[in-house]
Structure formats: structure tokens, C-alpha cells
Amino acid sequence: MAALGKSALWLVPGMLSLALFAYLLTLVEVEAAGRAYATYGGVYIAASLVWLWMFEGMRPDRWDVTGAAICLVGAGVILFGPRPA
């Protein structure tokens, strides 16, 4: 990290975010935890591109945005898709 000219302190918010996510996942009903984790994957991809743009100064290209949109649609299908009763 220091080789990239960035402070290793940037790890702190990342680690805290990951710990918060892990804690929140424990609050989900057991039968839905897998879906919550799968949905998180789509959100994580989109958030990674926001990080790339906001903190690394690299604007995502159309393929980045298209891929993230596909992932978010997939996450929405997993999260909100109809389930048998």
C-alpha cells in the first residue's frame, strides 16, 4: 500500500466496514443468510467502482458500469424474486 503512495491507514475504514457487514449478516434469519450474502456481492462490486472513482481518481468506463449494473440486477433478482410459501 505504501508503495502506491497511500497511507496504510486506509485499511482501517475497510476493515471496519467488513466487520460491520459480518455483524449485520448475523442478524439475518438463518434461511436467508445465503441470499443476503449473495446480494452483498452485487453491492460490493458497485461500491468498489465508487471507491475506484472517488478515492483512486480512476473513472469507471462503460464496461465497469455495465458489469456493475448487471450485478445489481442479479442481486435484486436474488433478493426480491418470488419464493414459494
Whether residue 14 is predicted with pLDDT greater than 90 in this model: the reply is no
pLDDT of residue 2: 46
What whole-number distance in Å separates Cα of residue 36 and Cα of residue 2?
A: 34
Closest-CA residue to 43 (of 81, 1, 10, 78): 78
pLDDT, tens digit (0-9, with 9 covering 90-100), for 47-71: 999 989 998 899 999 999 999 999 9
Whether residue 73 is predicted with pLDDT greater than 60 in this model: the reply is yes
What whole-number distance in Å separates Cα of residue 66 and Cα of residue 53?
A: 15
Whether residue 46 is predicted with pLDDT greater than 60 in this model: the reply is yes
Q: What pTM value is reported for the model?
A: 0.65
Among 3-12, 19-28, 34-43, 62-71, top mean pLDDT goes to: 62-71
Instruction: Report yes or no: 10 and 1 within 8 Å, Cβ to Cβ.
Output: yes
